Amino acid sequence: MQCMASVNTTVNQIHHLIPSTTLPPQQTYIGSSRQKRGLFDFVDKRFNNVMSAVQKNHQDAIALSNLAHRSMDALEHEFVILSELIFRQTNVTAQLEKELEHYLVLLQNQNSSNAITSPPSNSFCLCTNT
């Protein structure tokens, strides 16, 4: 229904824009062809405007699509860099944990061997003189 109203409005605007002339009856054919030419020129101009707007919208859509694609590529590249960093940090952490366990074992072994060969450092001797 709204489409029909839009068409009627457009037709009314076209009728207002086309100059109307009164021609003698013998030139009715020339006058009607002049009116038709004016109408076709108007319709052609409107159609060209619509087509150029559609082309511009299409070009803008392509540009936005390319921009989004480049943004996604950049984001993917950043994720790859972050993944590599996390992987390296995880490996370094695992290596440090392994070395720490090794030092703890050495420390425990050293403490247990010292406990067997010497008394603890906080022990004291009770001596009595009789």
Q: For residue 63, what are the CA distances in angstroms to 57, 59, 60, 109?
A: 10, 6, 5, 69
59: tokens are: 């070009």
Which pLDDT value is given to residue 65?
Answer: 95
97: tokens are: 């944990």
9: tokens are: 């409005």
Q: Tell me: pLDDT of 53 over 50.
A: yes
Q: Are 46 and 70 in contact (CB under 8 A)?
A: no
Q: Is residue 118 in some structural domain?
A: no
Which pLDDT value is given to residue 6?
Answer: 73
Full residue range of the structural domain in which residue 87 is found? 44-92
Q: What distance in Å separates the CA atoms of residue 86 and residue 79, rounded to the nearest whole number?
A: 10
Q: Is residue 37 in some structural domain?
A: no
Q: Is residue 63 in some structural domain?
A: yes
Q: Is residue 61 in some structural domain?
A: yes
Note the pLDDT tens digit of each residue in 55-102: 999 999 999 999 999 999 999 999 999 999 999 999 999 999 999 999
Q: Is residue 19 in some structural domain?
A: no
Query: Of 22-31, 41-50, 52-61, which range is least confident?
Result: 22-31
Q: Which residue has the higher pLDDT, 75 or 34?
A: 75
The number of domains in the chain is: 1
88: tokens are: 């390296």
Q: What distance in Å separates the CA atoms of residue 94 and residue 99, rounded to the nearest whole number?
A: 9
